[in-house]
Amino acid sequence: MAHKFAANEIRPRAVEWDRDSVFPLELFRKAFDLGLMTGFIPEIYGGQGLTMLDTCILEEEISWGCSGVATSMNANGLALGPILLAGTGEQKRVFVQPFATEFRFASFCLTEPGAGSDAGGIATTARRDGDGYVLNGRKCFITNGVHASQYTVFASTDRSRGHKGLSAFVVPRETPGVSSGKKEDKMGQRASETSDVLFEEVRVPEANRLGAEGEGFKIAMRTIDYARAGVAAMAVGVARAAYEHAAEYGRQRVQFGQPIAMNQAIYFLLADMATDIEAARLLTWKAAWLADQGKRNTKESSFAKAFAADLAMRAATDAVQIFGGYGYMKDYPVEKLMRDAKLLQIFEGTSQIQRMVIAKETLLR
Ligand code: CAA
């Protein structure tokens, strides 16, 4: 179903959404109605309770259609992940369940202008005040920030303690003092919207804090362990799209009296792409499967995210090369893939951060 949705609903309009930077709200509504945005929500809270492995298979297909669409469609999973991981039953009922029954967006607010790769360096504060907290700070590069009705916000309850002083909060959009900034004009993934989200003297009750004070950083990292497998699946979808376009073009394009795919220079590129796609998918599925077994998958998620995101960039670049001059033109599908793929090496931890995590989990232990 996800593949048909990508082929019939996403691909025919993906070029237009990319060109005009359109957030395709109606498409997302259709995806929601089909259950394509609620799979990660457990059945007791109204979702389908899919495994992480199921979710990765689904994300690969949607991203094969358009990775910008996939990024926005998957953002609820990232934003509600901390609640599912660290929330109480009551918090899950209040803050997750509505997303299974109503078409809404939530955003994960970790990154700040001064805290990107160094996620522990967050400057947003949550000041104790009576029976609640007052939040102040600015988050940036927030997926669906303009459209979200709820934010999961990481803020410092004790700045003297660094990452050990971070806590996680759920902030409903309508809370006074919450606002979103302008939509960013991105290189790729232009069907997905990204913006700042600002918190100015935003008061939330203690009931909106997830876990204990000081547990925020670990909640964020555990959520990201899951989410990185999902990004890897998206990257496999992009690489697969690049491979398919390049292979088809290689068979059709005749130069020097034969299809260019008959040249070793081209078919070696395609053979490497096909091999790496298989490897990236298996790394992704292993990371997802470990999460489904309740096992920590930090290292495997980083293996998958680094390998698959770098592959997506390489496959898209090679596809443009195989298309030659046509590949550089917007009339052909591969230049969009190249622009879209770049973001996969940056968000949810850059390719360099993945290698840092891998080194910490292996070499430096
Ligand atoms: N699970 C559980 N605990 C973890 C953990 C994990 N995966 N990773 C680290 N921790 C714990 C450590 O054990 C350590 O615990 P103690 O304090 O008890 O010893 C603590 O957290 C601090 O760990 P580190 O010393 O490793 O932390 P660090 O400051 O050196 O950095 C990092 C860790 C891996 C670099 C981290 O900052 C990171 O992942 N940075 C990248 C941020 C990122 O991915 N941002 C994505 C934003 S979301 C986004 O892009 C989504 C979007 O909108 C599309």
Backbone angles phi, psi at 123, to 5 degrees: -100, -15
Domain that holds residue 273: 218-363
Q: Number of structural domains, the chain?
A: 3
Residue 348 annotated among the catalytic residues of the structure: yes
How sure is the predictor about 297, in pLDDT bands with cuts at 50, 70 and 90? very high
Judgement on whether residues 200 and 66 belong to the same structural domain of the protein: no
Token pair belonging to 222: 């555990």
Which residue, of 66, 101, 136, is where some domain finishes? 101
303 lines ligand 1 (CB under 6 A): no
Q: Does the structure show a pLDDT above 80 at 189?
A: yes
Q: Average of pLDDT values for 44-53?
A: 98
If asked whether residues 223 and 359 sit together in one domain, one would say yes
Are 112 and 13 members of one domain? no
User: Do residues 186 and 233 share a domain?
Assistant: no
243/196 same-domain check: no
pTM of the complete model:
0.97
Cβ of 297: how many Cβ atoms within 10 Å? 24
Q: Looking at the structure, tell me whether residues 229 and 341 fall in a common domain.
A: yes
List Cβ neighbours of 332 (8 Å cut-off, separation of 6 or more): 245, 323, 326
The one catalytic residue among 61, 112, 213, 348 = 348
- Ligand 1 centre to CA of 221 (Å) is 5
Residues 215-263 have pLDDT tens digits of 999 999 999 999 999 999 999 999 999 999 999 999 999 999 999 999 9
Q: Which of 191, 213, 235 is the last residue of a domain?
A: 213
Check whether residue 347 and residue 240 sit in a common domain: yes
**Candidate of 76, 180, 196, 218 to mutate for ligand 1, largest count of ligand atoms within 8 Å of Cβ:** 218
Please report, for the domain that includes residue 195, its CATH number. 2.40.110.10
Q: Which are the contacts of 174, defined by CB distance < 8 A and separation ≥ 6?
A: 149
Q: What is the residue-averaged pLDDT of the chain?
A: 98
Is the domain of 91 the same as that of 149? no
Judgement on whether residues 208 and 229 belong to the same structural domain of the protein: no
Q: Looking at the structure, tell me whether residues 39 and 135 fall in a common domain.
A: no
Domain end call among 213, 238, 262: 213
CATH code assigned at 312: 1.20.140.10
pLDDT digits (tens, 9 = 90+) for 299-351: 999 999 999 999 999 999 999 999 999 999 999 999 999 999 999 999 999 99
pLDDT for the residue numbered 365: 77
Q: Are residues 152 and 254 in the same domain?
A: no
Q: Are 56 and 233 in contact (CB under 8 A)?
A: yes
* Residues 243, 244, 248, 249, Cα dihedral to 10°: -50
Q: Kindly tell me if the per-residue pLDDT of 364 is higher than 90.
A: no
